[in-house]
Amino acid sequence: MPDALSVSGLVVPGRGGRTILSVDSLTLPKGRSLGVRGPSGAGKSTLLYALAGLIEEAAGHVTWEGVDLSAMSPDRRGAFRAERMGLIFQDFLLFEELSGIDNAALPALFAPRAARGRIAARAAGLLDRLGLAEPERGVDSYSGGERQRVGVARALANDAGIVLADEPTASLHRGAADALIEDLTAMASDEGKTLVAVSHDPALLDRMDRVITIADGRITDEVGP
Amino acid sequence: MTALWDSLSVPVQDALWLAMLLVPALAVGGLVLRGLRPWPLVRAMLWRFRGPNLLFLVLIAVAVGLGIGLLAQERGLRAGTAAAADKFDMIVAAPGSEMTMLLAAVYLQPSDVGLLSGDVFAGIAGHPNVAMAAPLAFGDSYKGAPVVGTIADFVRHLGDDRIEGRMFETSTEAVAGAFAPVALGEVFEPAHGVGDVAQDDDNRHAHAGAGFHVVGRMAPTGTPWDRALIVPIEAVWEVHGLANGHAPAPADAADPLGPPFDAAYFPGTPAIVIRSDALWANYALRSTFTREAETMAFFPGAVLAQLYRVMGDVRQAMSVMALVSQVLVAASVLVGLLILIRLFRRQLALLRALGAPARFVFAVVWSYAASLLAAGAVLGLGVGWLAAAVLSRVLSARTDILIAASLGWPELHFVAGFLSVATVLALLPGVAVRRMKIVDALRG
């Protein structure tokens, strides 16, 4: 199976000449999942943001499905994310003033005109599949589990092949976290998504094909194929 | 080009000015929003910060409203004072200040001025190009309303012959202005003097026994004469113990009233209002009746025009000051918006993380700021209209001059100019957001 992700010589500098993250090499086949664990402040989220092409100062190469993000302008990296990536955040990052469906269909607002309808329809379908009862309701009235389901639907609304999740279960109680893990991994598996999830949650990490451990900005351990 | 512009009608020129003033706003809006639809997120921002947004809206609306309200008021005041002087084609008085005489004769503001003699009046009234020469006599009052002596023809001229009841026919009858503090049929005794002077015991009873029966009421004229009590000029002279302008009549004859007056029995008048049927004759009459050390003739309209020239400079200064104050308010609001936008930066960073073009996020922020500024400006039109209406009522009540201030093209131009400046200023928060580091903002 070809690699969906290929990282080489990735370095994220910090203040005062410090190196926050240094990854010599990392690969992940298409359709597989990668868990990233490690202590707080180790550089897990920084790795995720670097993989998403969000860190301007990052050096080295991050290549997704044959496209080297490092060689692209910020705007083109943005366009790549809009089309081929979905992001999930620990604290959901929803627009509290909008409904569940409007939040899930957020990528439609800035997508090309031809794709807007498709994204909105898929967002509605995903919310339905995720069991969100009242998607027209404002998200400010949702439980944590419901909010994260909206976050997952938003990440998958553009039908991207790559899903990056930053501590997706950290703000949920156990029951909601387990349900989300089930939904997320099942959907990623069913639709052949390449999933990278940063987490402290063993239940989530256990469902990943491969798990790496990061400490002091470096990969120190790797479990799985 | 100038010739083409000059050939256009004034409304068309005003409309074109409005369009030109809106061009920057429309151009900026068009460029920023082209192909984008940020409105759901703009609504979200407006709702999230609804309290501060409402405050900003009110601040802008009040700043814009007061600015345009004052400008409309100044124009209304100008129109009102001009309309009040409309019936006073020309005034002849003893040499002195034209402005003082204008205030006394047209706006009934008391002042000490010299008197014109019977010979002078006869010369003016007998001039072939003078259709009406109305002597005026001031100095008494009743319940704060001035009592003015003149002739019946002038009352008809002033009120366009619209009188409820009838014109005075004897020297004990009066016609009330539309808003004078007397009822039709009431009898009043004037006090000597006006204002505080008339409140002295001596002055209050100086004309005891000289009662006037109100037999008519003029329709509103929109001038201070609406509060006046108008009596035959003969009566004013008589209550002051002077001759009444006519040679003594036989005992069985009715008292003569109105012109012609007998120069030998003419006690004097501070002002004569002249009307000529021939417009061309007015300038010749002014020249004829302006005699060194004896009389001065002037057109009230010309004196007002001089005053308006001075006020024109004031208006320009007011316009600039109003615009500057509004831009300062808008700038303050923008600083406030920058602070609010910082509270929203995680959501804006989220958009960038999800792949929204920088231009889209810029459009969200610009639309949010521009919406508030534009809504404030439009609301300011309403506030301005209200401010102008309230100020008009207050000024009309205080001056007895009908001031009808309404919003017109100048105010629309003003708001359009403000909108354009504001939409350009609204680019600044967007620029600030563009410089934001996505990851830093996402981490809060």
All structural domains of chain A with their residue ranges: 3-223
Nearest chain B residue to A97 by CA distance is B44
Is the CB of residue B224 less than 8 Å from the CB of residue B248?
no
- Reported confidence tier of residue B307, pLDDT bands at 50, 70, 90: confident
Q: What is the pLDDT of residue B290?
A: 85
Contact between B37 and A154 using a beta-carbon 8 Å cutoff: no
**What's the average model confidence in pLDDT over B415-442?**
88
**What's the average model confidence in pLDDT over B350-368?**
94
Q: Which residues of B touch A52 (CB under 8 A)?
A: 353
Q: Which residues of B touch A55 (CB under 8 A)?
A: 439
- Give the residue among B246, B248, B439 at the shortest CA–CA distance from B353: B439
Candidate from B70-74, B289-293, B344-348 with smallest mean pLDDT: B289-293
Q: Which residues of A touch B47 (CB under 8 A)?
A: 97
DSSP secondary-structure letter at A138? B
Q: Which residues of A touch B436 (CB under 8 A)?
A: none
- Give the residue among A120, A100, A96 at the shortest CA–CA distance from A108: A120
**Which residue in the set B40, B47, B347 is minimally distant from A93, CB to CB?**
B347
Statement: residue B198 has pLDDT above 80: no
Contact between B355 and A80 using a beta-carbon 8 Å cutoff: yes
Q: How far apart are CA A147 and CA A141, in angstroms?
A: 9
Percent share of chain B, pLDDT over 70: 95
Provide long-range contacts, Cβ within 8 A and 24+ apart, for B285-289: B285/B90, B285/B127, B285/B129, B285/B130, B286/B90, B288/B127, B289/B90, B289/B92, B289/B124
Beta-carbon-side half-sphere exposure of residue B433 (alpha carbons within 13 Å) = 33
pLDDT in tens, B390-416: 888 888 887 777 877 778 888 899 889
User: What is the architecture of the domain spanning A3-223?
Assistant: 3-Layer(aba) Sandwich (3.40)
Residue type at position B290:
T
In this structure, how many other beta carbons lie within 10 angstroms of the beta carbon of residue A104?
32
Strand A194-198 relative to strand A162-166, pairing? parallel
Give all strands of the β-sheet with A194-198 in edge-to-edge order. A85-88, A162-166, A194-198, A33-37, A210-215, A218-223
- State how far residue B375 is from chain A, nearest Cα, in angstroms: 21
- Reported confidence tier of residue B202, pLDDT bands at 50, 70, 90: low
Q: Is B357 in CB contact (< 8 Å) with chain A?
A: yes
- How many pairs of residues across A and B have Cβ atoms under 8 Å apart? 71
Statement: residue A128 has pLDDT above 80: yes
Q: How far apart are CA B397 and CA A51, in angstroms?
A: 74
Q: Is B33 in CB contact (< 8 Å) with chain A?
A: no
In this prediction, does ipTM exceed 0.90? Answer: yes
From residue B187, alpha-carbon distances to B3, B148, B176, B214 in Å are 63, 16, 11, 6
- State how far residue A184 is from chain B, nearest Cα, in angstroms: 18
Give me the DSSP letters along A53-88. T--TT-EEEEEETTEEGGGS-HHHHHHHHHHHEEEE
Contact between A52 and B353 using a beta-carbon 8 Å cutoff: yes
Q: Is B39 in CB contact (< 8 Å) with chain A?
A: no
- State how far residue B427 is from chain A, nearest Cα, in angstroms: 20
Give me the DSSP letters along A116-134. HHHHHHHHHHHHHHTT-S-
Q: What is the pLDDT of residue B4?
A: 87
Q: How far apart are CA B444 and CA B440, in angstroms?
A: 6
Q: What is the pLDDT of residue B175?
A: 95
Q: For an interface test with B, which of A95, A147, A154 has the most B Cβ atoms less than 10 Å from its Cβ? A: A95
Q: For an interface test with B, which of A77, A97, A147 has the most B Cβ atoms less than 10 Å from its Cβ? A: A97
Q: Is B350 in CB contact (< 8 Å) with chain A?
A: yes
Contacts of B348 by beta carbon, 8 Å cutoff, 6+ apart: B341, B361, B364, B365, B433, B436, B441
pLDDT in tens, A129-173: 888 888 999 999 999 889 999 999 999 999 999 999 999 998 888
Backbone angles phi, psi at B219, to 5 degrees: -70, 155
Nearest chain B residue to A163 by CA distance is B354
Q: What is the pLDDT of residue B90?
A: 92
Q: What is the pLDDT of residue A106?
A: 95
Q: Which residues of A touch B351 (CB under 8 A)?
A: 106, 110
Range B24-61 burial, b when 16+ CB lie within 10 A, else e = bbeebbeebbeebbbebbbbbbbebbeebbeebbebbb
Kindly give the interhelix angle for B300-343 and B427-434, rounded to the nearest 10 degrees. 20
From residue B437, alpha-carbon distances to A46, A54, B87, B284, B352 in Å are 14, 9, 72, 80, 10
DSSP secondary-structure letter at A6? E
pLDDT in tens, B234-282: 999 988 888 888 888 777 777 788 888 888 899 999 999 999 887 778 8
Statement: residue A83 has pLDDT above 90: yes
Contacts of B295 by beta carbon, 8 Å cutoff, 6+ apart: B92, B93, B94, B95, B116, B120, B289
Statement: residue B50 has pLDDT above 80: yes
Q: Is B354 in CB contact (< 8 Å) with chain A?
A: yes
Q: Which residues of B touch A85 (CB under 8 A)?
A: 355
pLDDT in tens, B419-428: 998 899 889 8
Contact between A109 and B43 using a beta-carbon 8 Å cutoff: no
Is the CB of residue B270 less than 8 Å from the CB of residue B146?
no
Contact between B36 and A110 using a beta-carbon 8 Å cutoff: yes
Q: Which residues of A touch B360 (CB under 8 A)?
A: 109-110
- State how far residue B39 is from chain A, nearest Cα, in angstroms: 9
Statement: residue B229 has pLDDT above 90: yes
Q: Which residues of A touch B345 (CB under 8 A)?
A: none
